[in-house]
Chains A and B, each alone.
Chain A
Amino acid sequence: MLRLSHSPATDTALKLVVAAMAMFAFVFVVMVPLYNVLCDALGINGKTAGQAYTAVPAAVDESRQVTVQFVAINNDGMPWTFAPDARVMRVHPGAANGTVFRASNPTEFEMTAQAIPSISPSRAAAYFHKTECFCFDQQALAARAFAEMPLQFIVDQDLPKDIHTITLSYTLFDVTQSVTEGLAVR
């Protein structure tokens, strides 16, 4: 048995202190990364991959069509206009598709935004591949500027047959402050 001290009571106490510190570390080094890994791997929580998908050659499933709906939401206090070019698309699983979202900055100063995607139903997230997405990067817009932001995606041909509609929602966050603060620190 490992002994940390001469007194048995102090020994027990020291071991428990180590256990408590280990649990504190566990939150940071296990729980948080594990949560992110699990959400990525299982596609739960409606999260899509944060990086571009490399398309693999696959047959297009002409036998069925899936409805893809696009939703654009401004987070609390975000002044940009932000909307999808097309609200609904009908696509074949396996086919490459593209659309754009339009954003404009009506204010008198430069701003930076970050779009955060979410898929519903969440189990469709693992089958929704983005080969290109504006959400992979932050978007900077000068005062009164306008931008078309591209999205390229493939719905996996293995998408469960009972899913007929996928909703892709983007929430646009104002990250101007954290970007400028980050620059100030550097």
Chain B
Amino acid sequence: MGDHHHGPAQGVTRWLFTTNHKDIGTMYLWFSFAMFLLGGFFAMVIRAELFQPGMQLVEPAFFNQMTTLHGLVMVFGAIMPSFVGLANWLIPMMIGAPDMALPRMNNWSFWILPPAFLMLASTLFMEGGAPAFGWTFYAPLSTTYAAPSVTFFIFAIHILGVSSIMGSINIIATVMNMRAPGMTYMKMPLFVWTWLITAFLLVAVMPVLAGAVTMMLMDIHFGTSFFSAAGGGDPVLFQHIFWFFGHPEVYIIILPAFGVVSQIIPAFSRKPLFGYASMVYATASIAFLSFIVWAHHMYTVGMPVAGELFFMYATMLIAVPTGVKVFNWITTMWRGALSFETPMLFCIGFLVLFTLGGFTGLMLSIAPADFQYHDTYFVVAHFHYVMVAGAVFSMTAAVYYWLPKWCGRMYNESMGKTHFWISFIGFNITFFPQHFVGLAGMPRRIPDYALQFADFNMMSSIGAFIYGASQLLFLYNVVATIVAGKPVREDKVWDGAEGLEWTVPTPAPYHTFEEPPVVPKPAGTI
């Protein structure tokens, strides 16, 4: 192995050939931020078109490409890789391991991502245009009626599926085999727990997605009829397979966010997390339930009443473990010595808005009511409350919380707070009115709308521009911190922070925990 105390290699090869979990984590985070801006740009095109009724800026076909790519890039390019990056940086440091268990595979799982998204983005310049069938790519829209670029889309999905599976295998192998002596499962930080469960979900369902796109490929090029009624197949089968992947997928996105919030809220409440064990069991219950609720996305396909009832009750059941979590976070804050630094603000924003998104989710779970809400802007509002205010807010909180530990410099607090308030207000101006237009019947994924929706849509668009612009402030703050932030030298950057990652020097050295640490007893235990 040679010298253990060498620093990183120099130049571009450092990043190409690195097997260091911190380097790979950094690359994942920057890549996902780039994708966040790209997907955000697509969203700006959508909102600009919807600023006024009538056709304004883009052709309807291009509008459809924008909604499709916005969803795909945000889900697979921005949110998922950002949490994988966070896992890479933090899991070894949180469990007292020197690195990930399979560092070379780690390098691979990152480096196959950029080509996949380059290929996906390049479909915009192909004949017939980019995929335009929505991020859910329902057959036969994505088979019989798709542009030729769908084949590149399928290949891109295959590659990023492989990347996700490799990343998850690495996380599971690390958590199961590389915990420091004394770091028992029930002593692991909740972020590690939520990621362990998420990784199992990924290993279970990413192959299902790969199967779905493989069937599409075979239907398009090899004359099979999995999803073609003419050949004895069934388009509804596609929806079942897709959502058997798709529902666990939404928990893949949100569970690591739960983990982040469960780290940050105790730190700024200066109290241990309330109900640690119940948090673990709630996470596991949500993961289990995610496998038996998929058809609540397809209430309108014509299922038997018994099926609708089963999926309705099973879906409502998810509110129980989720409620346990929200209760625990609030109880953690109860009578705590609260302070409101930027990470805490984003966590509280998460808590309020995610819960709101959870309530609209409960409304959507009611099968007879869903026939009214299905494919309207109410659904768009719902999933942006849980995806953006849920996953993206918590990811932003994570960056502010751990950035000083990563780079040894403190971000600009007032700029961070400004970012929070502009984000929070911009987000709500964007998505709150969409509840109203949705309930009034405005369909999603359509480039034009009836005149009575004009005012709320203009509000939505203005809010979206505000929210989008505030992310540039975030980018500036992060870059300014890394380049010229005020140096921090305390190991424990935040006085209330708990966990092994706060016992290493600041900034975190290139190699940490080459000797396993002594695991301290969590605060509040005997």
Contact = CB atoms under 8 A, between A and B. Distances in A.
A160 interface: no
B75 to A, nearest CB: 20
Given A24-B207, A27-B212, A13 B170 contact: yes
Contacts of B210: 24
Interface in B159-196: 165, 168-170, 172-174, 176-178
B203 A16 contact: yes
A181 B221 CA distance: 12
A13 B178 CA distance: 13
A19 interface: yes
A10 B102 contact: yes
A52 interface: no
A178 B231 contact: yes
Contacts of A13: 101-102, 105, 169-170, 172-173
Contact of A175 (B101, B177, B207, B231): B231
Contact of A16 (B172, B236, B304): B172
Given A24-B210, A46-B302, A116-B230, A31 B240 contact: yes
Given A9-B101, A23-B207, A24-B211, A173 B229 contact: yes
Contact of A39 (B105, B205, B234, B241): B234
A12 B101 contact: yes
A42 interface: yes
Given A16-B173, A44-B307, A23 B205 contact: yes
B208 interface: yes
Contacts of B7: none
A21 interface: yes
Contacts of B177: 8-9, 12
B524 interface: no
B492 to A, nearest CB: 30
Contacts of B215: 27-28, 32
B230 A45 contact: no
Contacts of A175: 230-231
Interface in A1-50: 8-10, 12-13, 16-17, 19-21, 23-24, 26-28, 31-32, 35-36, 39, 42, 44-47, 50
Contacts of B415: none
B204 interface: yes
Interface in B223-247: 223, 226, 229-232, 234, 236-237, 240-241, 244
A35 to B, nearest CB: 5
B206 interface: yes
A114 interface: yes
Nearest to B226: A32
A65 B105 CA distance: 68
Contacts of A16: 168-169, 172-173, 203
B304 A19 contact: no
Given A9-B102, A10-B102, A16-B169, A42 B230 contact: no
Given A13-B105, A23-B208, A44 B304 contact: yes
A174 B144 CA distance: 13
A116 to B, nearest CB: 5
Interface in B73-104: 101-102
B303 interface: yes
A50 B237 CA distance: 17
Contact of A122 (B165, B212, B223, B304): B304
Nearest to B212: A27
Interface in A113-134: 114, 116, 122-123
B303 A44 contact: yes
Chain B interface size, as a band, is: 35 or more
A9 B178 contact: yes
Nearest to B100: A9
Contacts of B172: 12-13, 16
Contacts of A24: 207-208, 210-211
A69 B449 CA distance: 37
Contact of A35 (B174, B231, B234, B304): B234
B223 A31 contact: no
A75 interface: yes
A64 to B, nearest CB: 23
Contact of A12 (B105, B176, B205): B176
A182 interface: yes
A42 B304 contact: yes
A105 interface: no
Interface string B297-312: 0000011100100000
A166 to B, nearest CB: 15
A72 B59 CA distance: 35
Interface string B89-124: 000000000000110010000000000000000000
B302 A21 contact: no
A103 B521 CA distance: 80
A173 B237 contact: no
A178 B170 CA distance: 44
A50 B307 CA distance: 23
Contacts of B169: 12-13, 16-17, 20
Considering residues B173, B204, B210, B240, which has the most beta carbons from chain A within 10 angstroms of its beta carbon?
A: B173
Nearest to A120: B302
B34 to A, nearest CB: 28
B223 A178 contact: yes
A116 B307 CA distance: 24
Contacts of B226: 32
A27 B304 contact: no
Closest 5 CB pairs of A and B: A27-B211, A173-B230, A9-B101, A24-B207, A23-B207
9 contacts: A9-B101, A9-B177, A23-B204, A27-B212, A31-B244, A39-B234, A45-B236, A114-B231, A178-B231
Interface of A: 8-10, 12-13, 16-17, 19-21, 23-24, 26-28, 31-32, 35-36, 39, 42, 44-47, 50, 75, 114, 116, 122-123, 171, 173-175, 178, 181-182
Given A8-B176, A35-B237, A39-B234, 6 more contacts: A10-B102, A16-B172, A20-B207, A23-B205, A27-B215, A35-B240
